Amino acid sequence: SQTIHQWPATLVQPVGSPLSLECTVEGTSNPNLYWYRQAAGRGLQLLFYSVGIGQISSEVPQNLSASRPQDRQFILSSKKLLLSDSGFYLCAWSVEAAREQYFGPGTRLTVT
């Protein structure tokens, strides 16, 4: 069966510090991968998606970036965090576009 992991579960970082959130999927090959953010009191927003290794599409211009160094690994990064980067970050995968998406447990990021 397929499993999706995210870590860390919670993170408190000062403004200006770097960020690295990791997501890995097990039990499937060549998944579509997604990063979402849920800011406090707001709905989910797609940040990045990837259809293959090294292929990243950005939905929202911001100081975040994403990378996919391996087939089942998706990393969200920032060189310098802003207060507005606080939120709940979710990774998800799907077999292909427009198919059901499966979400990871999420990372709650607080930028202080």
Q: How far is the CB of 100 from another protein (least distance, A)?
A: 4
Site residues (vs another protein, CB under 8 A): 32, 34, 36, 38, 42-46, 49, 51, 57, 59, 88, 90, 97-103, 105-106, 108
- Residue 19: partners with Cβ closer than 8 Å, 6 or more residues away: 11, 13, 64, 76, 77, 78, 81, 85, 109
Q: How far is the CB of 97 from another protein (least distance, A)?
A: 5
Give 34 or 74: the residue with its C-beta nearer to another protein: 34
Are 104 and 92 within 8 A, CB to CB? yes
